[in-house]
Structure 1
């Protein structure tokens, strides 16, 4: 697990806030491979909040598990704003969660291009009854582990911001 004490403390506070609000969440992860779900489920009592996690690493998994249209992936590429949004919406509709976060990106060391460099990560956040949000990060070629760690931090931040204070 890539969590440090500060990130684990944020996860604990997040789980407590969602539990107090009676809200459940889901994750749809590609480049992070389940690290967000792993972080959240490291917290005792997280079963009251974490409804499910989807690791949709392949394009087929994105289509089959959470309903991302294969045509969308073919047209936009798996690492894109439309696919991140569709992943979040798919995780929400294929679960009993109230909030879903999605992550798709290029963690490297290979796989990047001039248009989509290593370190590019797109996030989607779907909340029942609200417009789906998107976040794009360009971390740079910091190494696979660091890109994934930063993506986990940003996913947690999106989940933190999904609930009113």
Structure 2
């Protein structure tokens, strides 16, 4: 996806959150803050974007988001369970209404037969209830392509979550 389309999606998300007086956060591993960067590139994003957690290591996931070490040991960082825990942790460790989490294998190394390069788990949590999970298998794309596609997926999930969320009183 082009940089222009990412900007358009990010602006749509910010405008939707602003209309409902909702606050946003990100919890990112393999994207390293790129989702937060896409949002904060837009002037006025501070109205709705609260914070971004870049939790690249397992220790950071535990320390910053409260992800249980046992969960990481049982399922690995690249899993639906950890993505959900990251999104919920971002909600619990902030005053936001919607939080997205991204964890995956961006490559070019680090893949295994069970968790190949291009496998990315996403979760989006709403304070008013619900955690959505999506898994993508991007295949043998470059690291940059996997990360760019992941930003698009995360923004799409947040747009859907904002659409489904109740307006903050």
1:126 equivalent in structure 2? 125
Contact 1:3 1:39 in 2 (8 A): no
2:167 equivalent in structure 1? none
Contact 1:125 1:134 in 2 (8 A): yes
The answer to whether 1:54 aligns with 2:49 is: no
SS of the residue corresponding to residue 163 of structure 1 reads: helix
Shift, 1:128, TM fit = 1.1
Whose relative contact order is higher, 1 or 2, with alpha carbons under 8 Å and at least 6 apart? 2
Shift, 1:104, TM fit = 0.1
2:158 equivalent in structure 1? 159
**Which structure 1 residue ranges, 5 or more long, are not aligned?**
none
More moved, 109-118 vs 129-138 = 129-138
1:112-139 deviation per Cα after TM superposition (whole angstroms, max 9, x unaligned): 0111000000001110122211100000
2:86 equivalent in structure 1? 87
Shift, 1:10, TM fit = 1.5
Alignment partners' CA distance in 1, 2:5 and 2:104:
24
- Tell me how many residue pairs correspond in the alignment: 164
Return structure 1 stretches of 4+ with deviation > 2 angstroms: none
More moved, 29-38 vs 155-164 = 155-164
Contact 2:105 2:116 in 1 (8 A): yes
Report the TM-score, using the length of structure 2 for normalisation: 0.94
CA RMSD of aligned residues (A): 1.2
User: Where in structure 2 are the equivalents of 1:4-153 lying within 5 Å?
Assistant: 4-153=3-152
1:140-163 deviation per Cα after TM superposition (whole angstroms, max 9, x unaligned): 020100000000000000011012
